[in-house]
Structure 1
């Protein structure tokens, strides 16, 4: 049995922020999202990858189009971009007008990356989003220097 040569055709999935969804047994959990990207890497087909994780092609595209799915969509595009066709860059979140609540919510969600060995997903790597943490620290430090009191009326 030979191992598939997918590494020459597609890029490995990178770090991504999972799409926030309701907890359901038959829904797009974090594990299913990672498994989908791993299968997309192995097969190169959205239909085959969705079928492999027990979902439909249409639901995969609906997940991609949801609010908050920018990082997942970037990871999807990265997998399907040929390695020699230029660097896809990094997934960048729009941080120009982000509320403290949004920063805290981003801080609570780790970045995920499927671990692929011999054409199969063997695990999920997790790491905190350090740029979000640093942005939050800068913002709170700036508020402390300006004498921000949390909006209390004096």
Structure 2
């Protein structure tokens, strides 16, 4: 049977599953979290992204990561200014909590987001990438269709199947 005449599996990379993945990726910036949300392995996600038949998915992936940068930058500012809650233990007993702002995170953000004022070589680095466009991501997600590219459900996956080289 010719591969073009095969029907996509209902448990494969359906348009709905692709939308679930891309929505989670835009919210978290984390491929593994997006895969958990969609119930598909990271190996399957990278396979669809690399396949020419997954071009719309790959474009959505890029748009989702671009959108995630804005959200993750907000989290970084929160950690830089308000800090992260830390437990205080004495003699094996939890005695309290403290929030510790991160001067290193603050310096990193200022150096990279305002290089003209805080960078090592003022005026040489770009301030921020082009603003993320949630409307473009939504348009890309609306155009997704079921894909015949093989998808591995999470139940058939173990951690040895994880791709190497990062999330993006």
TM-score tier by shorter-chain length is 0.3 to 0.5
TM-score (norm. length: structure 1): 0.41
Structure with higher helix content = 2
TM-score (norm. length: structure 2): 0.38
